[in-house]
Structure 1
Amino acid sequence: MSLRIVAVAAMDAAKLEAEVSSELGRVAPSRSLGSVDGLVALEWHLPGDEDEAARLRARLIDKGHPVDTAVLPADSGRKRLLISDMDSTIIGQECLDELADFAGLKAEVSAITERAMRGELDFEGALTTRVAMLKGLGLDALEQAYSERITLNPGARTLVETMKADGAETVLVSGGFTYFTSRVAAAAGFHTHRGNTLIDDGKTLTGEVGRPILGREAKLSALDEFAAARGIGRGDVIAMGDGANDLAMIKASGLGIAYHAKPVVAAEAHAAIEHTDLRAALFFQGYEAKEFVS
C-alpha cells in the first residue's frame, strides 16, 4: 500500500516543503499542486499502510505546523459526491444562535449549541430545547438573521463550483433549517439541500420543529441515498463538517474532512482544515490550483 500526503499552507513553497519533509524523513515532494491567493499545496507519495497513515497524521498535527494535511491511500482521488454540513462549515455562523440574538437569548442558546456540537448533549433534544426558547419570535427575524449575519466561509463557492465543473454532485445537509439551507445552497452553488423545518403560525415561530428531525443518522442516510442514486460507493464521497452530528457521515465517506472542528470530530476524520480555507478540500482530492473555478 502507498500513501498520498497533501499539505496546504499560507506560506511559500520552499518553506512548506521544509516543514513537512522534515516530518517525512526528508523526502522531497512528488509534485506541486500550485498556489492561489497565497495558499500553496504540495503532494508526497510514500510507502505505508493504514497504521502508518495514522502515525503520520498524528505526527504532522502534533508538531504544531500551521499546515493543513491529508494522509490518504495513494489511489484516493477526486470524489463524485460532495456532502457538507452548513453551520460553521460552509458558513461562518450557527444560524440558530444568530436567530436567538433577535430574541435576546444568544448566550443561552449558544451554550447549548456548543455542548451539542461537542457531543455532550443529544442532538435532537438540544435542537428542540433551543427552538422552544424562540417561541413567539417574529418571522421577520429570519430574514434579518440571514441578510445581516450569515456569510460564506472563504473558499466555499470555489469548492462547490470546481467540483460541479468536474461532474460531481453537491449536497448541503444540515441539522439547521431549510429557511437558511435554501439560501446558503443557492449562494454557494450546491445542487440541492436538506435541513430541518421551523414551524410557524404565519406570523411567529411556534417553538416547534418539523418531524422527522434531521440529525446524525439522517446525514449518513442522505450520504448513502445520494451515492446510490449516482451509482457510486461511499469511497467516492467527500463529507465535511465540524460537529458531533457530522461524525457518522465523515467516518463513512472516502474523504472525511473536519473543518475547524470539535475535538471529537477532528480525531476521527481523514483530514482537517484548521489553518487555510475550504479550497484545501480540493487540493486534498488532487485538484491543481489552475483548475479552480471561482
Structure 2
Amino acid sequence: MAIAIAKGGFGYDLRIDVIIQPEGNRLPQLFIADMDSTMIGQECIDELGDMAGVGEQVAAITERAMQGELDFAGSLKERLALLEGLPVETISRLLDERIVPNPGAERLVRTLKAKGVRCVLVSGGFTAFADVVGGWLGFNRVVANKLGVEGNRLTGTVDGDIVDRTTKANVLREEMAALGEGTSLAIGDGANDLDMLDAASLGIAYRAKPAVAAAADARLDHHPLDSILWALGIPKADWA
C-alpha cells in the first residue's frame, strides 16, 4: 500500500488514497469492521457523555484510549461510571438525532454481501447502538458490549465480558475458521482495532490515529468507504 498526497502545479493539494493489491480475484470471504468513527461518524460513548453533562471528560478519555495511551477495558469502565443513572431512552434519541453512517458505508456493506462476502460489525461500543447500525447497513453479525441497565437507567457498567482488541481479533479468526478458507478484509480507526487489522489479510486504517495508520496494510484518509470497492476490483455497475 501507498498513500499519496501530491502538490498540483497550480497550488492545489491532490489528495489520493492508493491501495496496491495483486492482480486476480481480490474479493475477500470476510469483511469485518469497527463501528465508532469508522462505519459511523460518531463515538457513541462520547455522545452519551454529552447527554449526561460530562461530554468533555468522556471524550478526552476516549481520545487517549483510541491513541493507545490507555488500556481500553480500564478506560471503558472509567467512562461508563460517569454515565451511571442516564435514562435508557437517551440511546433512542441519539440514534434518531445524532448517529449517522459515514459516506459510502451502506453501499460498501451491501455490495460485498451481494457478492457473497460475510460482513461482521465488531465494536468496543454497545449493542444498543451496534445492533441498530448493523441493521441499517446490512451486516450479517454484530458483536459489541452490552450496557448494564436497571430500572430503565444505565448502571455505569458492562453486562458481561468487554469487547476489546483481543476480542476483535478473535472474532475475525473465529469467522475465518468457520468459512474454512479465503481472505479477510478489516477496517478500523483506533488502537482497539490494531490486533484485528494485523490478523486480517488486508487491514485498512480509516481516518485513523497515527499509530494505527502506521501499522495498517493500507489507509483510507480522503475517500468515502465505498471507494474500497474499486480496490477490490468491483466495477461501479455492480455497486449496490
TM-score relative to the length of structure 2: 0.94
Q: 1:71·1:270 contact (CA, 8 Å) conserved in 2?
A: no
Alignment of 1:1-294 (within 5 A): 57=2, 60=4, 65-75=14-24, 77-233=26-182, 236-293=183-240
| Cα deviation, residue 115, structure 1 | 0.6
| Structure 2, unpaired ranges of 5+ | 8-12
Please, what is the CA RMSD of the aligned residues? 1.5
Number of matched residues?
235
SS in 2 for 1:190: coil
8 Å contact from structure 2 (residues 206, 219) kept in 1: yes
Partner amino acid, structure 1, of 2:151: G
Question: 1:38-61 CA deviation, whole Å, 9 max, x = no partner?
Answer: xxxxxxxxxxxxxxx6xxx26x35
**1: CA distance between counterparts of 2:112 and 2:184?**
12
Deviation at 1:75, TM superposition (A): 4.9
- Deviating runs (4+, > 4 A) in structure 1? 61-64
Q: Which whole-Å CA distance do the structure 2 matches of 1:62 and 1:263 have between them?
A: 20
**Whole-Å Cα distance in 2 between the matches of residues 228 and 65 of structure 1?**
41
Computing the radius of gyration from Cα coordinates, the structure with the larger value is 1
Aligned equivalents of 1:202, 1:159: Cα separation in 2:
39
- Checking the alignment, whether the CA contact within 8 Å between 1:72 and 1:270 is kept in structure 2 is no
Residue 211 of structure 1, CA deviation: 2.5
CA contact (8 A) 1:170 1:192 kept: yes
C-alpha distance in 1 between matches for 2:111 and 2:203:
18
Q: Any idea what the Cα deviations from partners look like across 1:117-138, whole Å, max 9, x if unmatched?
A: 0101000001010001001111
Consecutive unaligned residues of structure 1, counting only runs of 5 or more, are 1-52
* Partner-residue secondary structure (3-state), 1:67: strand
Give the superposition deviation at 1:274: 1.2
Higher relative contact order (CA 8 A, sep 6+): 2
What is the identity, as a one-letter code, of the residue corresponding to 1:166?
K
Identity value in percent: 47
The TM-score with structure 1 as length reference comes to 0.77
CA-to-aligned-CA distance 1:203-230 (integer Å, 9 cap, x gap): 2111111221110000000000111111
Paired residues of 2:36 and 2:44 also in contact (CA < 8 A): yes
